[in-house]
Amino acid sequence: MRIAIASPTWERVPPPAYGGIEAVVSLVADGLVRRGHEVTLYATGDSITTARLCSVLDQSLRTAGVDQPLPYQLAHVASVLADADRYDLIHNHCGELLMAFAHLKSTPMLTTIHGPMVPDSRIVWDHYDGYFNTISHASKNGFPDRGYLGVVYNGIDVESFPFTREKGDYLLFLGRVSIEKGTHVAIEAARRLGQRLIIAGKVDRVDRSYFEAEVAPLLDDPNVCYVGEADAVRKRELFANARCLLHPVMWPEPFGLVMPEAMACGTPVVAFGRGSIPEIIVHGQTGFVVDSVEGMIDAIRQLDQIDPARCRSWVAERFSAEKMVTGYECLYEEIDRQTR
């Protein structure tokens, strides 16, 4: 098939550090190329891909330090639409921004939803006549049935994550430092246990006040270490040697990519059971799904019950890049069948 993949422009593809959507887009694009599809990736000019790269931006908006991203984003989706007639299908990872213009072209569109339904976006959904999928069963909540093709779980390149049975002496929080991710909860659990915690993640401008009020004052504890944002190499080192990943999300997260990444290294995950979390963790086998700080503390005390090999095999079975690409190929075939 001739496939156009539209990626967001905030990060390059693949992202140098944080960027779950862009990491997924990279694996999908390269995986489809390996399977013989003709793929064009619409992303920032600093992206690295085996697909044909098309860009109106030389670098990611985050790298460029752009204050008003909308004009750049509109130019980006306009470039996708301008070429739409060349393709059998447009795979949209830009959400409602590109969906709003889907009716201007006859090329079928599949939108992968990476976030929750926002009430003000319903006007776009009311006029969207394309197809969409979610990245977990839980994240379907709030979205319509019309055009829905099902779930394709996010995948990772399992082999790129080092498996380690022997772990270090620290707990790990890795991700965006924000109230939604519950960084302060991870700190509380570690402090109450008297265990070492490493925090690795970026602090966006919108999260700066949270960081300064809720996280920074706790960093004088010698057991709490903030190391900043971890790149791909550092991230794998941290995952591989951690006793566990703490993931106390405070919102119904559609899919947390850090969870299969940690488990691929043989590292269990202890997470609050919101959103997709019960779909990703096998409670008592690859980690623990809890509902409070006390539950998180109890789970950490039971980490020796988890077999690192089971963590790795679960991710290989359920969340591999190959399984994800196969899932999207099946959706493409279904769209082709329905539109033929």
| Stretch 89-94: mean pLDDT | 98
pLDDT at 74: 96
Angle formed at CA 16 by CA 11 and CA 21, multiple of 5 degrees: 45
Point out the least confidently predicted range of 109-113, 167-171, 203-207: 203-207
- What is the rounded CA–CA span in Å between residue 313 and residue 55? 38
pLDDT at 62: 86
- Confidence band of 67 (pLDDT split at 50, 70, 90): confident
H-assigned helices in 35-84: 61-64, 70-82
pLDDT at 340: 82
| Stretch 69-83: mean pLDDT | 95
CA dihedral 46, 48, 49, 53 (to 10 degrees): 10
- Please, are residues 87 and 40 in contact by the beta-carbon 8 Å criterion? yes
Point out the least confidently predicted range of 203-217, 304-318, 324-338: 203-217
| Stretch 11-18: mean pLDDT | 87
Token pair for 283: 């409670």
CA distances from 169 to 208, 245, 264, 285 (A): 29, 12, 19, 21
CA distances from 135 to 23, 113, 257, 303, 314 (A): 14, 7, 11, 28, 17
Would you give the end-to-end CA distance of the chain in angstroms? 14
Domain boundaries, the chain: 2-155+320-339, 158-318
- What is the rounded CA–CA span in Å between residue 165 and residue 242? 10
- What is the rounded CA–CA span in Å between residue 295 and residue 156? 28
CA 212 to chain centre: 25
- Confidence band of 146 (pLDDT split at 50, 70, 90): very high
Fold type of domain 2-155+320-339? Rossmann fold (3.40.50)
- Please, are residues 114 and 134 in contact by the beta-carbon 8 Å criterion? no
User: For domain 158-318, is the CATH number 3.30.70.20?
Assistant: no
pLDDT at 63: 84
pLDDT at 204: 87
- Confidence band of 154 (pLDDT split at 50, 70, 90): very high
Residue 18 has pLDDT above 80, yes or no: no
pLDDT at 223: 94
pTM of the complete model: 0.93
CA 290 to chain centre: 21
Residue 50 has pLDDT above 90, yes or no: yes
- What is the rounded CA–CA span in Å between residue 217 and residue 211? 9
CB environment 289-319: b (16+ within 10 A), e (fewer): bbeebebbbebbeebeebebeebbbbbbebb
Average pLDDT, the chain: 95
2-155+320-339 matches 158-318 in fold: yes
| Stretch 38-46: mean pLDDT | 97
Per-residue pLDDT tens digits for 274-328: 999 999 999 999 999 999 999 999 999 999 999 999 999 999 999 999 999 999 9
| Stretch 31-52: mean pLDDT | 97
pLDDT at 252: 94
